[in-house]
Amino acid sequence: MRMLQLIKRICKQVLRDKRTLALLFLAPIFVITLLNYIFPDPDDEVTIAVVNVSDDVIDILEENDMIVKQENEINIKSYLEDGNASGVLEEKNGEWTLTILNDNPMDEGPAIQGSSKAIMEMKLNDLSDNIDDMINNMEDMSAGVEDMVESINEMMDQLPPEAAQNLDINTDLGVDTDVDTEIDSEINMDEDPITVEYIYGDESYTFFEILNPILVSFFVFFFVFLIAGMSMLKERSSGTLEKLLSTPIRKSEIVFGYLFGYGIFAILQTAVIILYSVYILDMEIAGSITNMFIINILLSFVALGLGLLLSTFVSSEFQMIQFIPLVIIPQIFFSGMLNVDTMEPWLQWIAPIMPLYYAGNTMIDVVLKGFTLGEIIAPLSILVLFIVIFVTLNILGMRRYRKV
């Protein structure tokens, strides 16, 4: 009953605070939208400048969807600095050089890949030309051998039979003079030399598609943490927490009231972020959207618990902000963007204490890999464990303000 009244009060306060509402709902949408457009489209063409490069290579580059600019006598550095191209490809005495500024991996990566591929293809073409020549030579040679065999046979026919028996020349030399010229010497260059098989998703996946599920969880965590922490801090610094504790309310009722009061908004925020990502930004999801909700709602309660808990250690809003680089930012690195298995061993020990490590990686499992509820039950249980721990610590922490 008291808890319900507390929840009602929190709802009233949040709904009246337009700025907090905007922070909860508009800020994540704004940032996610921005990110969606900030990453370059993989279909965008990369521009490459060529100096002293044969037309064959230029043709191949163009076939590989690159814009080729033919240049002579340029200052490569200033040419690239001016943004004329992502790279400059040169040939000198058979040595190929691609020069890049090395300040924009998004464009330069494809430039390096494309150029390498073009030169490989060019070299393969040369190779197949050589093979053709060899086959032609061999055909000529085999024709010569056939002529020889024929003339030997003719000679044999003209010899007297005794002589022929003595000579016992087996003209059946077993030489397969019929060289198989059916060899497909034209290696088909229209197809990719290698087929990439995608276990999850397809080649249309961009970096954003992998980042987005993590970001959804990150925003849920970040904004809920901040708002829960700030509001509890306000309750404490304005003296209303003390006043509240002068009533017979239980400490657990305060903690649960806060948890569910802000939990309502956390759930709404999660819904808005997920629905926006899926339906407006066309985030492809392999798994079920329900599982996305489960992960993020659990995560938002972890963030609530952590925010409330940390707010008891600070005495001002600014000190609350100071927790962001300490508590929030490091979690991004472990949230699935980078592979934890290849990190330093001591970092691998840190990862399991971070709620976003579980949420982020599980989001990837659900959104990109289509994991079912059964397959993500372990990380979900750990998130529940986090909630239990934080709630318990919060209730114990309330003892600071009232002993019973």
Residues that bind other proteins (CB under 8 A): 1-2, 5, 9, 12-13, 16-17, 238-240, 242-250, 401-404
3-state helix/strand/coil string of 329-386: HHHHHHHHHCCHHHCCHHHHHHHHHCHHHHHHHHHHHHHCCCCCHHHHHHHHHHHHHH
Query: Which CB atom, from 16 or from 92, has the smaller least distance to other proteins?
Result: 16
Q: In angstroms, rounded to a whole number, what is the distance separating the alpha carbons of residues 163 and 384? A: 102
Q: In angstroms, rounded to a whole number, what is the distance separating the alpha carbons of residues 84 and 386? A: 52
Query: Which CB atom, from 194 or from 404, has the smaller least distance to other proteins?
Result: 404
What tokens were used for 179?
A: 């060289």
Q: Which neighbouring-strand residues pair with 50?
A: 70, 89
Q: In angstroms, rounded to a whole number, what is the distance separating the alpha carbons of residues 297 and 374? A: 17
Helices within 17-89 (DSSP H only): 18-38, 55-63, 76-81
Query: Which CB atom, from 70 or from 240, has the smaller least distance to other proteins?
Result: 240
CA 402 vs CA 244, 245, 395: distances in Å: 10, 7, 11
Least Å distance, CB 106 to other proteins, is 45
Least Å distance, CB 397 to other proteins, is 14
Query: Which CB atom, from 231 or from 291, has the smaller least distance to other proteins?
Result: 231
Least Å distance, CB 4 to other proteins, is 9
Q: What is the number of alpha carbons within 13 Å of residue 144 lying toward its C-beta?
A: 6
Least Å distance, CB 30 to other proteins, is 25
Least Å distance, CB 382 to other proteins, is 34
Least Å distance, CB 8 to other proteins, is 8
CB-based burial label for 248 (10 Å; 0-12, 13-18, 19+): exposed
Least Å distance, CB 228 to other proteins, is 16
Least Å distance, CB 335 to other proteins, is 34
Query: Which residues 6+ apart lie within 8 Å of 365 measured at CB?
Result: 287, 371, 375, 376
Least Å distance, CB 259 to other proteins, is 17
Least Å distance, CB 313 to other proteins, is 18
Q: In angstroms, rounded to a whole number, what is the distance separating the alpha carbons of residues 388 and 396? A: 12
Query: Which CB atom, from 326 or from 404, has the smaller least distance to other proteins?
Result: 404
Name the nearest CA neighbour of 392 among 192, 295, 255, 294: 255
Query: Which CB atom, from 7 or from 51, has the smaller least distance to other proteins?
Result: 7
Query: Which CB atom, from 174 or from 239, has the smaller least distance to other proteins?
Result: 239
Query: Which CB atom, from 79 or from 401, has the smaller least distance to other proteins?
Result: 401
Least Å distance, CB 233 to other proteins, is 14
Contact of 146 with 177, CB cutoff 8 Å: yes
Query: Which CB atom, from 123 or from 243, has the smaller least distance to other proteins?
Result: 243
Name the nearest CA neighbour of 241 among 301, 304, 306, 312: 312
Query: Which CB atom, from 9 or from 77, has the smaller least distance to other proteins?
Result: 9
Q: Which neighbouring-strand residues pair with 51?
A: 71, 90
Any idea what the Cα angle at residue 117 is, between residues 116 and 122, rounded to 5°? 100
Query: Which CB atom, from 247 or from 339, has the smaller least distance to other proteins?
Result: 247
Q: In angstroms, rounded to a whole number, what is the distance separating the alpha carbons of residues 297 and 271? A: 9
Contact of 366 with 285, CB cutoff 8 Å: yes
